[in-house]
Each structure stands twice: as structure tokens, then as C-alpha cells.
Amino acid sequence: MSYFELAGCYPEGSSSASRMALTARSLGWGGIVFISSDPDGIFMPGAAFKVKGIEVAFGAEAHAQGARALKSRIGSLSSRYPFVAVQGSSEEIIRMASEDPHVDLLFHPCDIRHPLGIAAARSAAQNQVAIGFDLSPLIHLRGQARSRWMEALRHNLDLVRKFHLRPAITAGAASHLELRSPRELMALAGVAGFEADEAWEALRLPGRLLELNRRRWAGPGVEVL
């Protein structure tokens, strides 16, 4: 299984999907998943599919006002896109996303004031919701702000280990200039507190989720061949 990066692209980012795919391929990525709150508005997605040597997929980031609306939005997106992510912008959103098996990845903001809770971690484990770690603050933050962010990340990572959750890591790139190679991202993960085998598996997780979602399921654990 190849390494897969999670990234943004134009118009939410500053680089087109095809430019991102070309750069990701040159850095050694085997695949890239573009996460957008409006996948239908992505500029010329077909050009990215024409980039040879890298697998390209377009996923959706679910947004809504309130948990009930978000749940409906997730259900709608999961039937149209092979990858659904949620940004944990509030405790209510985190709790709801962790309880929905249609969510592939929950990005937690790693805020020391609002850490990942035990109840949310347990729900995520029961519903097979992966936890996403955006490592870009490790690059951009300085001083006490970075120390607080790392403290929150390590708290979340402890819960990921305790409840046997699946982590994913990303550089959070929205421009081709912000992309990092898999080796660089693994080094950042090591500084943040990941073990080498954890980072190795985290880089492969998006590709595995895509593979599972593209298969046909009649029900939980029942595949249509």
C-alpha cells in the first residue's frame, strides 16, 4: 500500500489539484486525497486524474450548523464521495462525528483547552472513525504556542493508543509549496511523539480507507462480490 497525503486545492487552496498531484508525485507520494467542503467547486478536477504515477481521489469535508444538520450532511456526502472528513471545531461536532460510522476521518484541532475526550475516543473506536493529525502547527508555531499544541497532540495520541484508534497524519497543505515528502512527514511525526511504525501506518491509512469505501457493502461486514 502506497503513502497517501491529504490536502486542499484551489479554490479553497492556492494551487490547482493537478499542480498538487504533480508535486506530490515528485515528492514520492503514491496517492493524494483532496478534501474540500465543496468538492463540486474544485477547479478542473479532471486534469488531476490525468497525472500519471499517482492515485488521485476527491473527498468531502462535512460542514453544517448543529449536530443534526451535520449528520444529514454526512449521510448525503458519504453516498457521493469515497472519503468523508470532519473538522472537530466544537465538542458537539466531535461527539457527533465520532458516533457516525459514515465518517472516515475526524480531524481534532489538538487544543489543550479542549482535548479529545474519553467518550469521543471510545465512540470513534466503536464506529471505526480514524483520528486525523494535522502536523502543520509543528512547522508554523513557535515558543509556548507550539509547546501547548504538542502537549495536546500527545494527550490525543495517548487516547488513540489506549482505544486502538487508527491515526492519519498530514502536512495540511493547501499549496504545492506546502507539501512535504513522506520521509519529512515521518520525521515531523517522530518529533511530535509518534513511533516510527505508527507514522508508517498513518501515512497508508487514507489509501486503505479509500479501498474499503470503494467496495460494495450490503451491510456491516457483508461485502457484495
The residues spanned by each domain of the chain are 4-223
Residue 218's pLDDT band, with cuts at 50, 70 and 90, is very low
Q: Is pLDDT of 223 > 50?
A: no
pLDDT of residue 221: 54
pTM: 0.92
Nearest Cα to 45, choosing from 61, 32, 64? Answer: 32
Residue 108's pLDDT is 87
CATH of 4-223 among 1.10.3720.10, 3.90.960.10, 3.20.20.140, 3.40.50.300: 3.20.20.140
Looking at residue 58, what is its pLDDT?
Answer: 97
Which positions ≥6 away from 177 have C-beta within 8 Å?
A: 15
Q: How confident is the model at residue 114 (pLDDT cuts 50, 70, 90)?
A: confident
